[in-house]
């Protein structure tokens, strides 16, 4: 093998991706389930595994998978993904002295308890929507520093009125017609990061309540706002989340504008906008994409 001494490893991380677990917790006659997809990556004194084929420094990706399964078996917090993620990173840093950083990304798949005969069923669940919760934990041995980002993905919403778009910049390239009443639909992706990097302060954060609160504020604002644009509605959501949750340092949204275009029936001598029924064409593509990160001008903590 040729050896190019000009080359060095700048950054390296490895581990197991797509570790899927379904964890069932039995509480008397009632059972709870949590389905997750987990990625665990490691960083540290591992460069020789790349540069010198030195496998002695490799904690195998198979061990990473086992670690996720074992921590899930022992943990009381699998459903609280930010806490579960920290339990994995803590274990890794305690167990392997040459590993300096552990990075966990978790997707929580949705299982909602079924209502049967008007009552919550003890052990049956339904996937009632594609939206997922996410959490990313970056844990560094140095200073025991942790960064946590939580997220909400693929929350598909639509309103049939209460949305306008006019007054926008126009030039010779503009063909969009201003509208005072349109369909507004988006698939919400939101991510929020936490202020504190000290472990003790993060322990007091109610991550699950914040997940629920962000979803509630997102949906309520989407429904109630007489939207002037996707941009303005997005910012309203951010303002409320930062006002309600001091532990959140910043919040970003990525909102595709899923266009629904009124069908032109003029050649059929039909006024599609008339009376109280209209037919729209849902457009697969292209879609607008409106994004923004918001934070506080001065941190409250």
Q: Which parts of 181-301 are beta strand (E)? A: 184-194, 248-257, 260-262, 280-282, 288-295
Options 32, 37, 48, 61, the catalytic residue: 61
- 296 by Cβ neighbours in 10 Å (0-12 / 13-18 / 19+) ranks as middle
Candidates 2-10, 62-70, 78-86, 229-237; binding stretch for ligand URC (CB under 6 A): 229-237
Kindly give the interhelix angle for 81-95 and 61-74, rounded to the nearest 10 degrees: 130
φ, ψ (nearest 5 deg) of residue 136 = -125, 130
Q: Known catalytic residue: 52?
A: no
Among 265, 288, 292, 296, binds ligand URC (CB under 6 A): 288
Question: Taking CB under 6 A as the rule, does residue 229 contact ligand URC?
Answer: yes
Q: Known catalytic residue: 61?
A: yes
Quote the least distance from Cβ 186 to ligand URC, whole Å: 10
Candidates 61-69, 145-153, 225-233, 292-300; binding stretch for ligand URC (CB under 6 A): 225-233
φ, ψ (nearest 5 deg) of residue 218 = -60, -50
For ligand URC, the closer of residues 57 and 157 by Cβ is 157
The interface with ligand URC within residues 57-96 (CB under 6 A) comprises: none
The DSSP output letter for 117 is T
Quote the least distance from Cβ 215 to ligand URC, whole Å: 22
**Dihedral (CA of 140, 141, 142, 148) sign:** positive
For ligand URC, the closer of residues 166 and 203 by Cβ is 166
Q: Known catalytic residue: 259?
A: yes
What strands lie across the sheet with 30-44, from one edge to the other?
14-27, 30-44, 99-109, 132-140, 145-159, 184-194, 248-257, 288-295
Measured CA to CA, the distance from residue 36 to residue 87 in angstroms comes to 15
Question: Taking CB under 6 A as the rule, does residue 222 contact ligand URC?
Answer: no
Contact 49, 60 (CB under 8 A): no
Q: Under rule CB under 6 A, how many of the chain's residues touch ligand URC?
A: 7
φ, ψ (nearest 5 deg) of residue 12 = -145, 140
φ, ψ (nearest 5 deg) of residue 185 = -140, 140
Among 133, 240, 257, 258, binds ligand URC (CB under 6 A): 257
Question: Taking CB under 6 A as the rule, does residue 268 contact ligand URC?
Answer: no
61 belongs to an annotated ligand binding site:
yes
Options 108, 191, 211, 259, the catalytic residue: 259
Among 71, 230, 242, 249, binds ligand URC (CB under 6 A): 230
The interface with ligand URC within residues 129-188 (CB under 6 A) comprises: 165, 176
Annotated binding site: 61-62, 165, 182, 230-231, 257
Positions marked active-site: 16, 61, 259
Q: Which residues are annotated as a binding site for O2?
A: 61, 257
Residues at the annotated binding site for 5-hydroxyisourate? Answer: 61-62, 165, 182, 230-231, 257
Would you tell me which residues interact with ligand URC (CB under 6 A)? 165, 176, 229-231, 257, 288
């Amino acid at each position: 093998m040729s050896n190019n001494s000009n080359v060095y490893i700048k950054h390296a991380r490895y581990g197991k991706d797509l570790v899927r677990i379904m964890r069932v917790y039995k509480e008397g006659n009632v059972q709870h389930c949590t389905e997750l997809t987990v990625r665990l990556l490691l960083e540290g004194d591992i460069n020789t595994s790349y540069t010198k084929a030195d496998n002695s420094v490799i904690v195998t990706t198979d061990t990473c998978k086992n670690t996720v399964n074992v921590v899930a078996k022992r943990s009381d917090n699998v459903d609280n993904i930010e806490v579960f993620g920290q339990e994995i990173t803590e274990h890794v840093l305690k167990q392997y002295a040459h590993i300096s950083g552990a990075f966990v990304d978790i997707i929580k798949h949705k299982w909602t308890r079924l209502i049967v005969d008007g009552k919550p069923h003890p052990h049956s669940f339904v996937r009632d929507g594609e939206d997922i919760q996410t959490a990313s934990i970056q844990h560094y041995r140095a200073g025991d520093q942790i960064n946590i980002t939580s997220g909400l993905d693929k929350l598909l919403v639509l309103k049939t009125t209460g949305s306008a778009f006019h007054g926008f910049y126009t030039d010779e390239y503009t063909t969009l017609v201003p509208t005072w009443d349109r369909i507004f639909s988006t698939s919400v992706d939101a991510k929020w990061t936490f202020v504190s990097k000290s472990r003790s302060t993060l322990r007091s954060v109610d991550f699950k309540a914040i997940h629920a609160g962000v979803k509630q504020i997102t949906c309520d604002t989407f429904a109630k706002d007489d939207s002037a644009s996707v941009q303005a509605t997005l910012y309203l959501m951010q303002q409320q989340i930062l006002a309600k949750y001091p532990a959140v340092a910043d919040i970003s949204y990525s909102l595709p504008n899923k266009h629904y275009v009124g069908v032109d029936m003029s050649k059929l001598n039909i006024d599609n906008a008339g009376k109280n029924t209209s037919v729209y064409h849902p457009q697969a593509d292209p879609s607008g994409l409106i994004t923004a990160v918001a934070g506080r001008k001065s941190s409250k903590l």
